[in-house]
Structure 1
């Protein structure tokens, strides 16, 4: 494959395939929800004649994933992602239900805590009141750093970009790059030698 000097390409280190910059990486999510995953119970007043419901999927993150899955269809289902924190009490039937969606949801299990659980209590006027039954666990920014390994960035400069005029920009970019691969002439051009 020949790549024009000024064509920027993205390298998938897993497969070795390259993609034009304007195309997103084929594994990039099209929706990544950071909303909460909650397992709910619904409690109804005895006068309603409705039985209580248990282990109902809840939380904004859950419904963002489900909505994204419905819109994306099966062909892009794996590109709908989130982190669902589950505890030592997580029901296998709930996980099985989520897995039928065939999304890219990652289950992060913590044996030292309970799954975030809530209860929707409906009163005689059918007004909903919500309470947490356990401590809530949200996906925080610091969680993202540990949830997926950082990709490796390889900077293969095009020869026409290797000029002493671009040296300051190079110094600014290098801390974000894992591998910098100019040849001897290109490196000399950056340095103005």
Structure 2
């Protein structure tokens, strides 16, 4: 993992901010009558909030491109998490990036309504986000190579890299580009379907198949001299954590087991927030990928409890210290509960 600079942010996402709109139809294309107001979205936004659950605004960040339709309500909602974490860029000549999430029965479609503005490492130069200790990016393997080329062009910057392949480019044709960029990645984290698709493996994830996918990625050489990690996010099965020369291990999804299904309201952004939590966990545990994955699982647990982003409030604990609560609960208590659960599971094997 990269060495930390005193002034650098610990986690910066290169993902985008998007305003999500929604339409709902049955399997025949007929409107269902269901409506949902536009809401804050974007993989970068969810990842940054996933990190914010653990880190203060001054230690994280992302760029938000504000168009001429950026409402005061959205501004207020974002700044409630801490205005210092956002780097706003204003463009009065265009609208904010928007996308339509089209639901037809159980099938979800996604299309941009406004041309997207992609963010690259070069955009961080000269800003409060430059030379972050860790960067997170969501894109195709081909574009990941371009991103890493920009990173390596700065000889004084060697960030820890957390890469999340974009779902629609997790296809076998992208595997050669992925192999090319793997040595530059500290963490590779597709979800189970994405991993299996990239590797042309059967698309019905099981623990055995996920572990085999981890093994194949490690054999390709993840990270400098093979020192990187693979974390395959596998929904209710949890996440498989893999490093060369170490036994594979699984971290439970926080909401798993009896009664947990009632807590799962909307999984949109769960994978992105998982990786934000992973990044924060790496910063807080001095690069321990196993422990960081527990932070990741807890971050995702807060995202899936409602539609949209979680609610941040403040309270005073029994010692008189002000603490942050997310959806009325403590991330630290959830982390301790998950740690205890996994220790108990280990003890019964």
TM interval, shorter chain, is 0.5 to 0.7
Query: Is the Cα contact below 8 Å between 1:122 and 1:128 reproduced in 2?
Result: yes
Q: Does 1:51 align with 2:31?
A: no
- Structure 2 CA distance for partners of 1:137 and 1:94, relative to 1, 3 Å: same
Counterpart in 2 of 1:81? 61
Counterpart in 2 of 1:61? 44
Report the alpha carbon displacement of residue 30 of structure 1 after superposing the two structures with TM.
1.5
Q: Does 1:118 align with 2:118?
A: no
- Structure 2 CA distance for partners of 1:104 and 1:92, relative to 1, 3 Å: same
Distance 2:47 2:81 in 1: 13
Report the alpha carbon displacement of residue 149 of structure 1 after superposing the two structures with TM.
9.5
Counterpart in 1 of 2:9? 29
Counterpart in 1 of 2:120? 140
3-state SS of 1:71 partner: coil
- Structure 2 CA distance for partners of 1:136 and 1:126, relative to 1, 3 Å: same
- Structure 2 CA distance for partners of 1:49 and 1:82, relative to 1, 3 Å: same
**Larger helix proportion, structure 1 or 2?**
2
Distance 2:53 2:13 in 1: 14
Structure 2: gaps spanning 5 or more residues = 132-155, 157-349
Larger RCO (CA within 8 A; separation ≥ 6): 1
TM-score, normalization by structure 1:
0.57
Distance 2:95 2:102 in 1: 20
Query: Is the Cα contact below 8 Å between 2:64 and 2:88 reproduced in 1?
Result: yes
Deviations 1:70-117 (A, max 9, x none): 132xxx232110111111111111111010011511111111221111
Report the alpha carbon displacement of residue 119 of structure 1 after superposing the two structures with TM.
0.7
Structure 1: gaps spanning 5 or more residues = 1-21, 152-175, 177-193
Query: Is the Cα contact below 8 Å between 1:43 and 1:53 reproduced in 2?
Result: no
TM-score, normalization by structure 2:
0.33
Distance 1:115 1:141 in 2: 21
Report the alpha carbon displacement of residue 144 of structure 1 after superposing the two structures with TM.
2.1
